[in-house]
């Protein structure tokens, strides 16, 4: 049972692991599907039908460009990072039950896709998703940095800043997702993107215990 309830306007660090730490993203197509779901599942309407998304998250971009209507948003997506065995999200509760509904849609849709693609059965994710309430502003900034630096744990550390399956490039460069990714709670606290980049890449900053 969770030690907190999701409050409207509250920020939360959300993370989910594959069963037994098994890979949940094996190929670029898997990452594209997972990354797209963070935006395609964020609406009061059912998730639109995916087409051939192997070359990129085109369905999310159609939603971004208002070519597909998904209804009222359930959460604000602030940051994300997809790793081979798990993913991290920084979310803000937008409406009552928003995070729970959003995560149910993401997990259910991705598990169905994954089981069909790899001819398997059973659970893809380990129990329910995990969450931590972000109770102060310094912790909010730290979680954004923690999520964006998560790819540094991979074997090829030299390229973590350019990791394609993270929102970091959308913070320090061009935002691929437009209004679907709400960078304001983090970037508004820095004078420029470059200052945020220095915070993530150079400053040790204040440390907090982070699970996930």
- In this prediction, residue 20 carries a pLDDT of 86
Q: Is residue 137 part of a domain?
A: yes
Q: Is residue 72 part of a domain?
A: yes
**Region for residue 119 given its phi and psi (left: phi exceeds 0; alpha: psi -120 to 50; beta: otherwise):** left
Q: Is residue 73 part of a domain?
A: yes
Q: Is residue 58 part of a domain?
A: yes
Do strands 130-133 and 86-93 pair parallel, antiparallel, or not at all (unpaired)?
Answer: unpaired
Give tens-digit pLDDT for 95-144. Answer: 999 999 999 999 999 999 999 999 999 899 987 899 999 999 999 999 99
Q: Is residue 56 part of a domain?
A: yes
- In this prediction, residue 210 carries a pLDDT of 57
Distance CA 144, CA 138 (A): 10
Provide the residue range defining the domain that includes 117.
Answer: 11-201
Q: Is residue 36 part of a domain?
A: yes
- In this prediction, residue 105 carries a pLDDT of 96
- The structure's pTM equals 0.92
Q: Is residue 209 part of a domain?
A: no
Query: What's the total number of domains in the chain?
Result: 1
Q: Is residue 5 part of a domain?
A: no
Q: DSSP string spanning 61-121? A: HHHHTTSS---S-SEEEEEEEE-SSEEEEEEEE-STTHHHHHHHHHHHHHHHHHHHHTT--
Find the CATH number of the domain harbouring 182: 3.30.70.1290
**CB burial of residue 61 (10 Å; 0-12, 13-18, 19+):** middle
């Amino acid at each position: 049972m969770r030690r907190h309830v999701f409050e409207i306007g509250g920020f939360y660090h959300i993370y989910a692991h594959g069963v037994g730490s098994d890979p949940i993203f094996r190929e670029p197509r898997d990452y594209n599907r997972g990354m797209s779901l963070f935006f395609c599942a964020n609406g009061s309407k059912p998730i639109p039908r995916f087409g051939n998304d192997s070359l990129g998250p085109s369905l999310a971009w159609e939603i971004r460009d208002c070519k597909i209507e998904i209804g009222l948003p359930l959460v604000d997506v602030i940051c994300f990072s997809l790793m081979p065995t798990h993913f991290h999200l920084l979310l803000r509760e937008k409406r009552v039950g928003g995070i729970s509904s959003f995560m149910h849609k993401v997990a259910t849709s991705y598990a169905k896709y994954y089981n069909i693609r790899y001819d398997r059965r059973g659970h893809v994710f380990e129990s329910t998703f995990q969450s931590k309430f972000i109770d102060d502003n310094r912790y909010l900034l730290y979680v954004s940095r923690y999520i964006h630096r998560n790819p540094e744990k991979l074997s090829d550390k030299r390229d973590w800043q350019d990791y394609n399956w993270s929102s970091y490039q959308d913070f320090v460069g061009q935002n691929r997702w437009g209004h679907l990714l709400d960078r304001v709670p983090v970037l508004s606290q820095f004078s420029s993107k470059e200052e945020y980049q220095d915070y993530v890449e150079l400053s040790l900053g204040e440390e907090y215990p982070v699970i996930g």
